[in-house]
Amino acid sequence: MTDTKASLAPENLAEFLKLLEEEGNLLTIEKPVDKDTELACIARLCADSLASRKRQAVLFKNVSGFKMPVAVGLFNYKKSYARALACKTEEIFERWSEAMKSQLPPQLLSNSTAAVYEQVWQASEIDLLKLPVPNWTPGKDPGAFFSSACVITKDLDSGVQNMGVYRIQIKGPSSLTVGFGSENQHGCIQMRKFHKSGKPCPVAIVAGSTPAVLFAAAAKTAYGIDELGVAGRLMQRPVKVATGLKVDLLIPAESEIVIEGFIDPDSYTSEGPFGEALGIMSEEGKAPLMRVESISMRKNAIMHGYIQQVPPSEGHLVWQFGVLGPLYYYLKEKAGFLMIKDMGIAPGSAGLSYLLVQISPSSQEEKQRLLSLLSKLQFGQKFVCLLDEDIDIADPLSIQFALSSRVNPEHDIKYITGTTIYQADYSVYAEKSTGAPFRSAIALIDATKKGRAPAIALPSEKYMKAVRDHWSNWALPELKDADEDRIMRFLRS
């Protein structure tokens, strides 16, 4: 890859928005929109209900009562995720493998040159209510939540930082809750270390991060890995950082907004409900309360948020790659499953419950060994399905064809009972579970061809290709690209 600006991953949110606009993938809304009743509804309909060729990221430039614009839907599709890393879609997992092999340490700037410190609110100036943070589930969420904010903490003993994406509810002008969701989250582990020592936990919350920083924050990595180094390797240049104004943490310097403060021991308050990525409303609970000491931002800052709620959404896609990127590296590089070609979550799946693994032809023993390992790794999966290379794992029609034609339920589906998951969904409520972890099971499905396989019932590839090549002769509507067409994929395999 040549070292030109066009081939580099965007260094901040504004750069990425400019790229999307230049490529015709940004929809700008100039008319007034209410952040609490209209914005999320418009964003959801733009993502779900427009024809696929017309779906774009959305920039709300006129949020009623605020000067700051709000950007939504930036990573709704695999292509936009790849664009944010300046790579091809088929290179995303390899980029993740590079980032897991070795991290690229951040580049420390002086605070005077950090864009995120162009404006600083402290003391009486602090007012979270002046930020256009949306209500993401109008009529059901109790207020405004940061849905894509990166929460930065550090280990009390080693000083190694952690960065994760957790839901953040605004509770007042200078307070908010940090919804870690589980005591096993690395940020929560670090907070408890401070609290056990009787100390407040320093926290920085970054809204509107560099895309690669957002992606790394969603990653499921081993404790002790600094996600800023992961982000640097993902974007193939160091993340620029500056020191916190109020907390001893390194802050991504190209961020739009950073909120600094502390979580005191035994400081908890009510939080939620919230429209979760599993497609249901979480219940009200208790969450750590953060007292805000400063709010900093760029001069022309942009608020960014994920749509979550019912899948699919950009929040789901970023979460998906944050889990599957490190998993792909582990399975291929560490466990030696070289037959893996692609991985994904079945379209429309709640959270990460339905894992799809595309493989090259393999022995039954090797396939069973892979399924067995995947049943032991715990990231919320309830279904694990192996698919052949001719099946597009992003296409529901192809997946259903494989399930209905290549699976003998008696032999090709195995159930592992007595497993646990941490995400609450409809099945958890049906079991009347009282708290995480929840009892569950995993279905392991081999949806690959076995033995003698008849030819696919389609015209030969040479005839179909010839017709595609001369498609314009018949003045018919434009076709999908050949690499996105499931018919051509069947014929190539």
Q: For residues 211 and 254, is the Cβ–Cβ distance under 8 A?
A: no
Q: Is the pLDDT of residue 7 over 70?
A: yes
pLDDT above 70 covers a percentage of the chain that reads 96
Categorize the per-residue pLDDT at 1 as very low, low, confident or very high, splitting at 50, 70 and 90.
Answer: very low
pLDDT tens digits for 239-259? 999 999 999 999 999 999 999
Q: Is the pLDDT of residue 293 over 80?
A: yes
Q: For residues 293 and 246, is the Cβ–Cβ distance under 8 A?
A: yes
Q: How far apart are CA 319 and CA 324, in angstroms?
A: 9
Element (H, E) at 78: helix 78-84
What pLDDT is recorded for position 482? 67
Q: Which residues pair with 288 in a beta bridge?
A: 268
> What is the distance in angstroms between the CA of the first residue and the CA of the last residue of the chain?
30
pLDDT above 90 covers a percentage of the chain that reads 79
What pLDDT is recorded for position 2? 36
What pLDDT is recorded for position 4? 36
Return the structure tokens found at 214: 């957002």
Contacts made by residues 340-344, CB under 8 angstroms, sequence distance 24+: 340/370, 341/389, 342/93, 342/393, 343/93, 343/393, 344/320, 344/393, 344/394
What pLDDT is recorded for position 434? 66
What pLDDT is recorded for position 5? 45
C-alpha separations of 332 from 17, 220, 255, 361, 367 in Å? 34, 17, 34, 15, 14
Q: How far apart are CA 441 and CA 381, in angstroms?
A: 9
Return the structure tokens found at 97: 């493998």
pLDDT tens digits for 23-42? 999 999 999 999 999 999 99
Which of 235, 218, 151 lies closest to 190 in space, CA to CA?
151
What pLDDT is recorded for position 282? 86
Q: For residues 223 and 186, is the Cβ–Cβ distance under 8 A?
A: yes
Categorize the per-residue pLDDT at 51 as very low, low, confident or very high, splitting at 50, 70 and 90.
Answer: low
Q: For residues 273 and 283, is the Cβ–Cβ distance under 8 A?
A: yes
Q: Is the pLDDT of residue 50 over 80?
A: no
What pLDDT is recorded for position 480? 76
What pLDDT is recorded for position 3? 35
* Mean model confidence pLDDT for the chain: 92
Length of the chain: 493
For 493, other C-beta atoms within 10 Å of its C-beta total 11
Q: Is the pLDDT of residue 86 over 80?
A: yes
Q: Is the pLDDT of residue 218 over 50?
A: yes
pLDDT tens digits for 346-387? 988 888 899 999 999 999 999 999 999 999 988 889 999 999
Q: Is the pLDDT of residue 134 over 60?
A: yes
Categorize the per-residue pLDDT at 429 as very low, low, confident or very high, splitting at 50, 70 and 90.
Answer: confident
Q: Is the pLDDT of residue 479 over 80?
A: yes
Over residues 394-400, mean pLDDT? 93
Q: For residues 192 and 178, is the Cβ–Cβ distance under 8 A?
A: no
Lowest mean pLDDT among 58-67, 129-138, 324-333, 448-457: 448-457
Render 94-135 in DSSP notation, one character per residue.
HHHHHHHH---PPEE--GGG-GGGSEEEEGGG--GGGS-PPP
What pLDDT is recorded for position 453? 83
Q: How far apart are CA 35 and CA 305, in angstroms?
A: 12
pLDDT tens digits for 170-214? 999 999 999 998 888 999 999 999 999 999 999 999 999 999 999
Q: For residues 109 and 241, is the Cβ–Cβ distance under 8 A?
A: yes
Give the neighbor-by-neighbor strand order of the sheet with 438-446.
340-345, 354-359, 383-387, 438-446, 413-421
Question: 3-class SS at 69?
Answer: coil
Beta pairing, strands 383-387 & 354-359: parallel
What pLDDT is recorded for position 309? 85
C-alpha separations of 427 from 271, 296, 381, 419 in Å? 23, 42, 13, 14
